[in-house]
Amino acid sequence: MTIRAAVMPGPGLPVEIRELPEPALEPGSILLETLASEVCGTDVHLRHGRLAGVPYPIVPGHVSVGRILEAVGVDTDALGQPISVGDTVTFYDVHEVCNTCWHCLVARQPNRCPSRRVYGITYSADEGLLGGWAERIHLKPGVKVLKLPEPLTADDVIGGGCGLFTGFAAVERSGLEMGDTVVVQGAGPVGLATAALATLRGAARTILIGDPGPRLALARMLGADHTLSLTEDSIEARADVVSSLTAGRGADVVIEACGNPVALAEGFDLLRDGGTYVIAGHYTDAGTVEINPHLDINRKHADVRGQWGTDFRHVVRALEVMAKHRDRLPFAEAIGARYPLEEANSALDDVESLQVTKAIIAPGAP
Ligand SMILES: [Zn+2]
Ligand SMILES: [Zn+2]
């Protein structure tokens, strides 16, 4: 038997449907029937070849939800919850972190481990069904699988997707304190999740800067107190709003989630003296930007932090927070469209042109 997968053959080439062999399930592995897989900005970058070290051809799809068809000697999820055939699960896309190298053991930064592999990004389609844009997903032994916490559905998890986990990590990294004023730069899935979680964590004011209008409306629905447009509000007007909301001091925390280097000048400008600036949106190299070390960092006494990827704990905790506060985190409503495997190229086009905020690949969709 063969299994249909949407394969990205290489940079600049359209995604095509291929038949991949059914995986041989080794002890400790799980076979999922794919219910939904995310199409995120990273997949657009992958199509354009903007990430280094990607072993094309690949089956994209790094955040996915599936139903267990077969589990070979696995009866609990990564947290010890019993799992069995028919259960709906998601899984941590990062796999094969070694726990023995310098990065893992000394720096305690498994996100820099050289052995690290990521479903949908750094596994080749030649290695199997190791991405979500396929009818089945092969979870290798040791992949951290998670039963969805009640009452979450596949749509909740994919609607939040990796933006939810990255936003969670960025907010945590910022050290945001209750009562802080936060500026979020970017209205994509990461920016939206960042704004929602910043508010939930106790920010007194969450101000999101981005576009287009429907995403700003979504940001307000998810908990942003103020939204400012990149096109309709001038950079001076945006600075005036932040200044007036903070008695001229600037934001305690600024989180960049837009991936445009130009945003950094504005971000530093909006940050108060002694504030924290987290750069979380530059997953690919979008170029350089001029920074004034004296004004932006040194004299400002700024704390500037990068956030690379997510750890397993971010996924676990983000899902737990979402399960508790589901009514305040209606990410399922961010899903703009569902695409069968055959329409993966349209899904990528629509995400790239900002036609939809969150697109999902549903192999079972008509
Ligand atoms: Zn390691
Ligand atoms: Zn992603």
What ligand has the least distance to the C-alpha of 99? 1
How far apart CA 136 and CA 138 sit, in angstroms, is 7
CA of residue 247 to ligand 2 center, whole Å: 37
Rounded to an integer, what distance in angstroms lies between the CA atom of residue 45 and that of residue 139?
24
Residues 333 and 155: their CA atoms lie apart, in Å, by 9
Q: Are 186 and 266 in contact (CB under 8 A)?
A: no
Q: Which ligand is located closest to the Cα atom of residue 116?
A: 1
Q: Which ligand ends up closest to the CA of 95?
A: 1
pLDDT, residue 18, reads 97
CA of 105 to the centre of ligand 1 (A): 7
Running along the chain, 366 residues long, what does each successive block of 10 average in pLDDT?
96 97 96 96 94 95 97 97 97 94 93 92 97 98 96 94 96 98 96 98 98 94 97 98 98 97 97 98 92 96 94 95 95 92 97 90 82
Question: How much is the pLDDT for 354?
Answer: 86
Distance 317 CA to ligand 1 centre (A): 22
Task: Tell me how far the alpha carbon of residue 173 lies from the centroid of ligand 2, in angstroms.
Answer: 18
Instruction: Give buried/exposed letters for 152-179 (b at 16+ CB in 10 A, else e).
Output: bebbbbbbbbbbbbbbbbbbbbbebeee
Distance of CA 201 to the CA centre of its chain: 19
CA of 106 to the centre of ligand 1 (A): 10
pLDDT at 366: 59
Ligand 2 center to 40 CA (angstroms): 5
What distance in angstroms lies between residue 86's CA and the mean position of ligand 1's atoms? 33
Going from the Cα of 141 to the center of ligand 2, the distance in angstroms, rounded, reads: 23
Neighbours of ion ligand 2 (CB under 5 A): 40, 42, 162
pLDDT at 340 (0 to 100): 97
pTM > 0.95: yes or no: no
Tally of residues, the chain = 366
User: Residue 228 gets which letter from DSSP?
Assistant: E
What is the distance in angstroms between the CA of the first residue and the CA of the last residue of the chain? 21
CA of 4 to the centre of ligand 2 (A): 22
Ligand approaching nearest to the C-alpha of 132:
2
Residues facing 271 on adjacent strands? 251
What's the CA dihedral at 105, 111, 115, 116 to 10 degrees? 140
DSSP letters spanning 229-251:
ETTTS-HHHHHHHHHHHTTTS-E
Centre of ligand 1 from the C-alpha of residue 116, in Å = 7
H helix runs in 95-234, sequence order: 102-105, 154-174, 189-200, 213-222
Alpha carbon of 42 to ligand 2 centroid (Å): 5
210's tokens: 């981005």
pLDDT of residue 189: 93
